[in-house]
Amino acid sequence: MEPAEDSLSMATPLPEPPDAQQGRSPGGLRGVLSPYVWREAAALAALAGPVFLAQLMIFLISIVSSIFCGHLGKVELDAVTLAVSVVNVTGISVGTGLASACDTLMSQSFGGGNLKRVGVVLQRGILILLLCCFPCWAIFLNTEHLLLLLRQDPEVARLAQVYVVICIPALPAAFLFQLQTRYLQSQGIIMPQVIVGIAANVINVGMNAFLLYALDLGVVGSAWANTTSQFFLSALLFLYVWWKRIHIHTWGGWTRECFQEWSSYTRLAIPSMFMVCIEWWTFEIGTFLAGLVNVTELGAQAVIYELASVAYMVPFGFGVAASVRVGNALGAGNAEQARCSCTTVLLCAGVCALLVGILLAALKDVVAYIFTNDKDIISLVSRVMPIFAPFHLFDALAGTCGGVLRGTGKQKIGAILNAIGYYGFGFPIGVSLMFAAKLGIIGLWSGLVVCVFSQALSYLIYIMRTNWKRVAEQAQVRAGLISNKETTPTIPADLPILEREVIDGVILPDIIRPESQTGRLVVEENSQHAVPTIGEVLTGRQLIVYRGLALAVSIAVLIAGIVVRVLNYRG
């Protein structure tokens, strides 16, 4: 399907129709919540559902590698598990965080109608994230030495090094996939990620089977299968965008503007990275600490970590939906729409998390059988599950609030609150209970509950105190617009919207038919008020010096990593 040529923006607020209140059911849940909430919830679910599926597809790629290598032997399984952790902690988490700046810049630019700026932001992200590959590669090259410093088995460390080195070319592909995902999400386009995710998983399974069993390549074959899958993810998504011409309104070709405003991008990207990495690194450290206790604690921690990762995909989807809906509304200057989208998404995420938490608590005695038959591990998982249930509720609220903060461009606040909640309070408590009180992972997860509770509470307090009108003004500046605050765009009548309504002066969300999901959710272009560059415009000489310096520093870090690798190898 070709992308819709018509345009979409927020509807003009109108007085509530006289029959709107009369048409509401006086009883039941629908009578308690306004029609706006139900429509907004449907719009959020239309975004969150496919995001959940897309994230699940990405998650399965590494899981499949572990499953195949698990049949090779314990050493191979341990090596692949450690290698995937190294790649995630020192590579993927960094790229995911840096790409999250696009959640703000793209969604607000798109919502404000400055469509070509969305493409320019994508170009900046590509250049900056490719530069960040060099420091990550420097760490990749020294994986074996780092694991030996952490007292890992030498053979496990050696095999993990082999796996990670093969994954070096996969890192830029993974970064480009992250950026393309943000590019599409900001426009309300989600299904292509699901489609290419399914295709990449089929390729990954086939290549693992062929390379491990037909060619007997072992861990090396699994690493190449993973790397190839990452390239397929990025390439297939690019080809889909090109084939469907999704880029036609937002991509004006490569331009010198992509070398401008790197500071404004990094001011959002670096806090975004810490928002992601602080939490991600905490769980990886927790798994390592569990291994210091005993094998049973490590096995139970691994099971709970996998459960937490899968359970978190639901609030992750709502977090993405929040950043898109809130960012689009703020970019359009509609503060009330953004506020109501925020309230609704928190309600949806809270209800879903409560249901998942109750389900996991009810299945606490059997859920571990999915992963293992070891009675000791199953018993320990069963004892941790009552702690994990409230953890998931608070974690879901915190993750969804994080999406709201990304939509508003307040990642710096999120990074600070994350650091305080995790490393200031919860994690030290968890480690103390784990070792000093000798509670093992029960103590660790008790501390993690404190982490996410303080994180969710501080996020909610900050969001409740947000001045949405001021944030909307900041968003329009960030989107490169000089807009008339009195003007509100209108929705064309021929757009494929199921229903459109205004309740209590609040614009009801646009619920797009499924067939338009693979097209686009476009807004009316507002380029007549757009400014090419926000803030100081660097001269050609300044661009050569500053961007050349950034490239030189990145390459220097990689060279330093190579030197360390050579010296350790000779030693």
How confident is the model over 309-324, as pLDDT tens digits?
889 999 999 999 999 9
Find the largest Cα–Cα distance for the chain. 82
pTM value? 0.84
- Percent share of the chain, pLDDT over 70: 85
Average pLDDT over residues 236-256: 91
Question: What pLDDT, on the 0 to 100 scale, is given for residue 500?
Answer: 37
Average pLDDT over residues 412-440: 92
Question: What pLDDT, on the 0 to 100 scale, is given for residue 486?
Answer: 42
Terminal Cα distance for the chain, rounded: 60
Position 3 in a domain: no
Question: What pLDDT, on the 0 to 100 scale, is given for residue 489?
Answer: 42
Residue 410 has pLDDT above 90, yes or no: yes
Residue 360 has pLDDT above 90, yes or no: no
- How sure is the predictor about 537, in pLDDT bands with cuts at 50, 70 and 90? confident
Q: Cα(241)–Cα(233) distance, rounded to whole angstroms?
A: 12
Position 504 in a domain: yes
Q: How many other C-beta atoms are found inside a 10 Å radius of the C-beta of residue 25?
A: 10
Question: What pLDDT, on the 0 to 100 scale, is given for residue 563?
Answer: 95
- How sure is the predictor about 517, in pLDDT bands with cuts at 50, 70 and 90? very low
Residue 181 has pLDDT above 80, yes or no: yes
Position 555 in a domain: no
- Specify the residue for token string 């969604």: 107
Q: Cα(401)–Cα(345) distance, rounded to whole angstroms?
A: 9
In which element (H, E) is residue 507 found? strand 506-507
Q: How many other C-beta atoms are found inside a 10 Å radius of the C-beta of residue 281?
A: 18
- Percent share of the chain, pLDDT over 90: 55
Position 543 in a domain: no
* CB-based contact 472:483 (threshold 8 Å): no
Question: What pLDDT, on the 0 to 100 scale, is given for residue 11?
Answer: 34
Per the structure, the count of domains in the chain is 1
pLDDT in tens, 59-111: 888 888 878 877 777 788 778 888 888 999 999 999 999 999 999 999 999 98
Position 551 in a domain: no
Q: Which domain holds residue 368?
A: 30-537
Position 21 in a domain: no
CA 456 to chain centre: 17
The token duo for 550 is 């950034």
Q: Cα(344)–Cα(121) distance, rounded to whole angstroms?
A: 28
Position 542 in a domain: no
More reliable by pLDDT, 149 or 1: 149
Residue 17 has pLDDT above 90, yes or no: no
Question: What pLDDT, on the 0 to 100 scale, is given for residue 26?
Answer: 44
How far is residue 332 from each of residues 111, 264, 398, 485, 569, measured CA to CA in Å?
Answer: 5, 20, 26, 9, 56
Residue 22 has pLDDT above 50, yes or no: no
Residue 172 has pLDDT above 90, yes or no: yes
Q: How many other C-beta atoms are found inside a 10 Å radius of the C-beta of residue 258?
A: 19
Position 557 in a domain: no
Residue type (1 letter), 415: A
pLDDT in tens, 267-286: 999 999 999 999 989 988 88
- How sure is the predictor about 297, in pLDDT bands with cuts at 50, 70 and 90? confident
* CB-based contact 387:83 (threshold 8 Å): no
How far is residue 73 from each of residues 67, 80, 91, measured CA to CA in Å?
Answer: 11, 11, 26
At residue 261, the 3 state secondary structure works out as coil
Question: What pLDDT, on the 0 to 100 scale, is given for residue 532?
Answer: 59
The token duo for 184 is 């599409």
- How sure is the predictor about 368, in pLDDT bands with cuts at 50, 70 and 90? confident
The token duo for 533 is 């560059």
* CB-based contact 299:372 (threshold 8 Å): yes
The token duo for 374 is 């070891």
**Where do runs of H (alpha helix) occur along 245-294?**
262-293
Q: How many other C-beta atoms are found inside a 10 Å radius of the C-beta of residue 6?
A: 13
Residue 523 has pLDDT above 90, yes or no: no
Average pLDDT over residues 437-447: 93
